[in-house]
Chains A and B, each alone.
Chain A
């Protein structure tokens, strides 16, 4: 089955700095890579995603890059703000013969942005 490794496990930055979280996946059949942000006491919220036919995607201060050959993808947050503090999970997905995508999560990164 799919295995997703995520690094670092904790990341501390000053407000205004950039933050980068990296993930690698094992299954070359995975073709959809979402990123989730989870704030304390809440469920994970989808913040950005990328499909295997795209190398980079940007949405305001967040961007995701994908290197299919190396099987790794990264989340980039620029101009970080204290409200970006949360746990971030990467995930890899493939249909695996089903009519939905089976999600495999990374272990998570606790991001702390200091004012």
Chain B
């Protein structure tokens, strides 16, 4: 299995709703990432988990709450979002350097298209 699977593919939510995005990989990657992407822009890093521990939080508002229940799963909990949070949310994973000392490219999922109304 060489894929990162994200669900749902599309999500429309109101500003008072609570929803969660899910990401799953079975490649044995120990680093997992959440990115936000606006149209015609590069992905922007939000969070990095390394060995199931939060390693980087790029000053993301607290209405976004990440969770890494195990080495294969990554969730992003959403609460009280604003319309400007509408975007494509991408999950990615990568192999740890300790495997052979080399950096490898990230494998991205297809994303969740989020619309906040």
Contact = CB atoms under 8 A, between A and B. Distances in A.
Interface of A: 31-32, 34, 36, 41-46, 49, 51, 87, 89, 93-95, 98-103, 105-108, 110
Contacts of A93: 103
A94 B50 contact: no
A98 B109 contact: no
A95 B110 contact: no
B105 A100 contact: no
A51 B96 CA distance: 16
Contacts of A51: 102
Contact of A34 (B6, B40, B45, B105): B105
A94 B42 CA distance: 18
B110 A42 contact: yes
B89 to A, nearest CB: 10
Interface residues of B, number: 31
Nearest to A90: B42
Given A43-B90, A108-B41, A98 B55 contact: yes
Given A106-B42, A107-B42, A108-B42, A101 B104 contact: yes
A98 B51 CA distance: 11
Contact of A99 (B30, B56, B90): B30
Given A44-B43, A108-B41, A95 B106 contact: no
B42 A105 contact: yes
Contact of B108 (A43, A87, A95, A108): A43
Nearest to A44: B108
A99 B108 contact: no
B39 to A, nearest CB: 10
Interface in B1-22: 4, 6
B110 A43 contact: yes
18 contacts: A32-B103, A36-B105, A36-B108, A43-B4, A43-B6, A44-B90, A46-B107, A51-B102, A89-B42, A99-B51, A100-B50, A100-B96, A101-B94, A101-B103, A101-B104, A103-B45, A103-B106, A107-B41
